[in-house]
Chain A
Amino acid sequence: QVTLKESGPGILQPSQTLSLTCTFSGFSLSTYGMGVGWIRQPSGKGLEWLANIWWDDDKYYNPSLKNRLTISKDTSNNQAFLKITNVDTADTATYYCARIWELVDYWGQGVMVTVSS
């Protein structure tokens, strides 16, 4: 059974760094062709693809967030991570991680992150 679960700080202040963890089970990020992506959704708005990482450590970042994103993985512990630096109120959203295995098939439940002073 494939499951993913996101965790994060809940609330943070502008200019801080947001650190998110995706803990998954039922698959391995060392499997050929496997990937994990991060997607966010501000309340009441649409979805935005942020970044993804592949089994071979190849990475993709959405250019709209310029150099603020860093994605990484810990294959041994079945985790993927996303860091967003210098957050502001526009980064307030629900953040999802999702498995990529030919398609984006399994998603976590999402974690709400609020940026507020």
Chain B
Amino acid sequence: DIQMTQSPSSMSASLGDRVTITCQASQDIGNNLIWFQQKPGKSPRPMIYYATNLANGVPSRFSGSRSGSDYSLTISSLESEDMADYHCLQYKQYPLTFGSGTKLEIK
């Protein structure tokens, strides 16, 4: 199975900060990765697909990037509505596997 090691597990940042969350893949997944945002009591919402593409309706302060086996989600200027859990999902190979999640809190 492909392991997705997500970090950090939680973080606290101030409004306006630049925030980066990372998933490291244990095997090559190409760019077959989705980032999801999940707010309390809600279902996940896709934010970035194919590692770097912004999903429909997602604010432009969100971006995705790749460096080797490391995939990153970056929020360029944190807003209060960004407080949520973030998950990565690799869909290169079965079984599809998620990262362990990052809880993002606002200071």
A104 touches B95 (CB 8 A): no
Which size class do B's interface residues fall under?
20 to 34
A109 touches B98 (CB 8 A): no
* Complex Cα spacing A96 to B45, Å: 12
Contacts of B43 in A (CB 8 A): 96, 107-110
Task: Name the residue on B nearest A105 (C-beta).
Answer: B46
Which size class do A's interface residues fall under?
10 to 19
B49 touches A47 (CB 8 A): no
Contact of B44 among A47, A48, A62 (CB under 8 A): A47
Between-chain CB contacts (< 8 Å), 30 pairs: A37-B96, A46-B87, A46-B100, A47-B87, A47-B89, A47-B101, A49-B89, A49-B95, A49-B96, A49-B97, A49-B98, A60-B94, A60-B95, A62-B95, A102-B49, A103-B34, A103-B46, A103-B50, A103-B55, A103-B91, A104-B34, A104-B89, A104-B91, A105-B46, A105-B55, A107-B45, A108-B43, A109-B42, A109-B43, A110-B43
- What is the interface of chain B, defined by CB distance below 8 A to chain A? 34, 42-46, 49-50, 55, 87, 89, 91, 94-101
